[in-house]
Structure 1
């Protein structure tokens, strides 16, 4: 659902723990998987981030789920990310249950929500449709039992199943690097069983499982189908959404992983060789493109991917600035990140990560900028500002002021000076000027000499008096009206789609 519609608070109420207060800005930033027991049945919840930048992570949440609960606030109604979430659920071909939250709030109107959802072909049962919609209040813990019962009912109708005797397959929900334990992956077991000691393969990551933790962080020997588990013992951090399987031995796992890594490198090289329109225009000299090189570091891969996707969207919105993601990785910003930034003239963006002391010292001596953030839209807003700051200035001829001639002075060796008063704006040396007499133009040229009292001046503002002269025109008369024009820099304004 949409940001701030109460997804995490609802899940919180269901499992009676509290993680909202620990999230920066009250926005859930990582996918978390948890279990809830209802009698002899268990439901696994995958809490997907609600923020716009995490569309990718939410899309993966849709792929690993059997049922999607769409949370819509009864006071806010259908919002942009609500529509986005409906799209993801449809793409994953997953049944949707609508939880109409915050029904206890002033201005709550569940009926308005149901009517708004008709547009997206989600028709409530009381409107003659088949979409289950449950009014709830996460804050007051109202309607939660109804919601859980409806989830189990839909599961029963869908005849959801997994094969406990099949070979193990799991989907990576989230992955990151832990300083003491190394690469960690949260995996949702889809079929079979995973055990400590199994050799697993996931993308280009592989390894023998050293430890398994359940969703509460307690160590377990094995985990069966339908449950989330934390896997420790991989060679590197896998990407969210990748499938994990078991293989016979370490040799086979390493060989497959290395072959996949080679294929990935080849694809990257082919991708970088493709010319974009922006590159083409640059070669033709029709577009001056400035490069903004960035190195991304985050605590988990999901955040790296979400940040990169958002940056690429920004990149598409502005032709004159090219965002290049030079490198990306998980874990704290270290010396090698700074060395790479020096070599590629890049800024390091850290999200939810610290900076090692050595990297901090090196960045100061090498003059590399490291910017760290806790909330993704703050990073995006800063990048937007940097992009606008890199744009070439635009100059436009504007009227900068007017003057009226009061007296004429004829001085030998200098010529004719028009003693004038600036009536509005200002006059500046080398400005273009038009002299009008009784409505007709008598001279157009450049203001060559500007005096304030006896001194040469670069600029004189209203309502001061000044002396104006030019070699090209000496036929001044009292009462002449002068208009001054100059090239003025126009602030560049770029309308980005909001990062928030």
Structure 2
């Protein structure tokens, strides 16, 4: 029976020796002083007495739904280090300022005989957070006029970027790889004292997701159609996006300066798509323009302002800021940088915000002209610094009352995202395996995608995943912003994946590691090159190549006929090595007379696995005995070679 001294129990219970001795006397347990020993049963009786007393004294403690270790220690009137030790015994590692859940706090409190309840009016922080994240409805009297947000969409090479250049009097196209806009940005233009915000969307069809994201935050869409080319697949795609977003559409018929321009053909094709222009009695505004010669630009902008006036675009500037992340990237010097469009309220420097899984305090805001600003109202696009990580393009951002709420919201979202990722990455069950067997074996091409900006990464991911077919599934196991790192290479090595880098390079450590681990790292600046290469890799998976690799040659110098065995060739290895599992070609007078396999390979009377150059050996061949002195035996093995990117 184990015994414990009184002073040890007093220390454990954070009581004085005298108080503990008086409690023991109440239980008629005789002790002389603090060095006296009591049995484990007597200690148990003592604990029961203390718990009953706490119950009688109202041992219920009101707390918030979540509290830190220090706050719990204060509520229980205990030392924080003691609470940390209790948590460690329960398998929970926590620091003094770390938050713990109500369930864990209740378990710790029960150890001391206390019951925890959530204080009335707290309504749990989770409920408070959800309430704070809700976008309040605006009252009619609070709404004020705001500038329109315009997205320019259309087919590749129809002149979207050139049109924006003409509007902004800038030259972006010449700096773009392949003449295609690769990133989404936002810019502001002042026309007759009125502001118009333009979202720059990329032109290649592979950036469909980014273009769709632009349509979600836009008020007016300008559809650029080349007068000499007409409606193309991406034009139809852009029309569908604008229809799905429910935004008014203005058609800019570009390149009217070209001799082959035919605006009437464009109008006819638009009508076929359900867009009847005003000239033909419809409601769709169509403006002939020439981005190259800057003709019709003013008319187009006037039409934008006219449509904006008809739409009565209004917002409440006097509330917490809410909007959308247009683009985000990891800048080497500035950290996570996000281009956001404020859609309601006013964003100020110093505001705590939550953007998707990221949180932070706005350290600085830079407008479209590169100038620092302190305030951004509705329909204002700004670059913000101060986020904890790179958010996803298209994420909603909301300013919140304080940093703690911002952190809590982001952490909850990150936990949900982690849980979902774990579910999606679960190993295949027998049911899954059986269903895949019924559908036919599915091969997977695993990819790790890294890019310079979040929008590009998402676009590359969606474009490559669309390449999946019945036999090969393209699976993106990870995507992120920034250079290709060692951890990306290790993930690819573990998953047998290929790394696709878009406008980024591997860091030096990752480059050497990729060679060591034999991980294929490919970098691109134009997206369709990546698509072509992945398609080639998929073709390789469907049709592996078989290559014959010569291993050695031997000359037959003697022929022996052995009863019960057959014909055996006494050979001399003239080149390379001869392996027991080799396939062979027997060559006589430079003509192949037989192709087959080795039946046996011997040195003297012993079977051997291989024979090197300069050594003699005996060979026999499967189902073939017609050999002569002077014949040459060419040995080879067949290898299956998967096509690389």
How high is the TM-score relative to the length of structure 2?
Answer: 0.60
Tell me which residue corresponds to 1:462: none
Conserved? CA contact 1:171–1:190, under 8 Å: yes
Q: How does 1:51-66 map to 2 (within 5 A)?
A: 51-66=204-219
Among 483, 488, 495, the residue aligned to 1:344? 495
Tell me which residue corresponds to 1:310: 463
Conserved? CA contact 2:320–2:400, under 8 Å: no
Conserved? CA contact 1:282–1:289, under 8 Å: no
SS of 1:18 mapped into structure 2: coil
Task: Give the 3 Å change call, closer, same or farther, for CA 255–142 of structure 1 in structure 2.
Answer: same
What do residues 236-290 of structure 1 show as CA deviations (whole Å, max 9, x unaligned)? 1111111111111111111111111111222233344597999546753773433
Structure 1 unpaired stretches of 5+:
396-448, 460-470, 472-491, 493-500
Residue 353 (str. 1) matches residue 504 (str. 2): yes
Among 31, 34, 47, the residue aligned to 2:184? 31
Conserved? CA contact 1:78–1:113, under 8 Å: yes
Tell me which residue corresponds to 2:445: 292
Tell me which residue corresponds to 2:540: 389
Higher mean C-alpha deviation, range 449-458 or range 237-246? 449-458
Tell me which residue corresponds to 2:171: 18
Report deviation, 1:197.
0.6
Cα distance in 1 for partners of 2:471, 2:390 equals 35
Residue 457 (str. 1) matches residue 610 (str. 2): no
Report deviation, 1:181.
0.6
Q: How does 1:50-199 map to 2 (within 5 A)?
A: 50-199=203-352
Conserved? CA contact 2:329–2:337, under 8 Å: yes
Q: How does 1:360-379 map to 2 (within 5 A)?
A: 360-379=511-530
Task: Give the 3 Å change call, closer, same or farther, for CA 455–386 of structure 1 in structure 2.
Answer: closer
Report deviation, 1:327.
1.2
Cα distance in 2 for partners of 1:2, 1:88 equals 13
Among 481, 494, 498, the residue aligned to 1:330? 481
Tell me which residue corresponds to 2:392: 239
Figure out how many residues of one structure are paired with residues of the other and give that number.
406
Cα distance in 2 for partners of 1:270, 1:80 equals 37
Cα distance in 2 for partners of 1:352, 1:133 equals 37
How high is the TM-score relative to the length of structure 1?
Answer: 0.77
SS of 1:209 mapped into structure 2: strand
Cα distance in 2 for partners of 1:137, 1:365 equals 54
Conserved? CA contact 2:221–2:250, under 8 Å: yes
Report deviation, 1:366.
2.1
Tell me which residue corresponds to 1:380: 531
Task: Give the 3 Å change call, closer, same or farther, for CA 286–77 of structure 1 in structure 2.
Answer: closer
Cα distance in 1 for partners of 2:592, 2:294 equals 78
Tell me which residue corresponds to 1:260: 413
Cα distance in 2 for partners of 1:274, 1:87 equals 38
SS of 1:28 mapped into structure 2: coil
What do residues 384-411 of structure 1 show as CA deviations (whole Å, max 9, x unaligned)? 000101114699xxxxxxxxxxxxxxxx
Task: Give the 3 Å change call, closer, same or farther, for CA 321–142 of structure 1 in structure 2.
Answer: same
Report deviation, 1:450.
10
Report deviation, 1:166.
2.4
SS of 1:259 mapped into structure 2: helix
Cα distance in 1 for partners of 2:403, 2:434 equals 49
Structure 2 unpaired stretches of 5+:
1-153, 547-584, 596-622, 624-641
Tell me which residue corresponds to 2:370: 217
SS of 1:230 mapped into structure 2: strand
SS of 1:148 mapped into structure 2: helix
RMSD: 2.5
Cα distance in 1 for partners of 2:543, 2:431 equals 16
Cα distance in 2 for partners of 1:49, 1:245 equals 26
Cα distance in 2 for partners of 1:393, 1:233 equals 50
Cα distance in 2 for partners of 1:298, 1:250 equals 30
Task: Give the 3 Å change call, closer, same or farther, for CA 277–70 of structure 1 in structure 2.
Answer: farther
Cα distance in 1 for partners of 2:507, 2:337 equals 21
Task: Give the 3 Å change call, closer, same or farther, for CA 188–454 of structure 1 in structure 2.
Answer: closer
SS of 1:217 mapped into structure 2: coil
Report deviation, 1:170.
1.2
SS of 1:314 mapped into structure 2: coil
SS of 1:210 mapped into structure 2: strand
Conserved? CA contact 1:282–1:288, under 8 Å: no
Cα distance in 1 for partners of 2:428, 2:379 equals 45
Report deviation, 1:214.
0.3
Task: Give the 3 Å change call, closer, same or farther, for CA 377–277 of structure 1 in structure 2.
Answer: farther
Tell me which residue corresponds to 2:137: none
Structure number with greater CO (CA < 8 Å, separation at least 6) is: 1
Cα distance in 1 for partners of 2:395, 2:254 equals 32
SS of 1:165 mapped into structure 2: coil
Report deviation, 1:321.
2.0
Report deviation, 1:453.
6.9
Conserved? CA contact 1:172–1:239, under 8 Å: yes
- Please tell me whether Structure 1 or Structure 2 has the larger radius of gyration of its CA atoms: 2
Cα distance in 2 for partners of 1:337, 1:325 equals 12
The structure where helix makes up a greater share of residues is 2
Cα distance in 2 for partners of 1:16, 1:456 equals 73
Among 353, 373, 380, the residue aligned to 1:227? 380
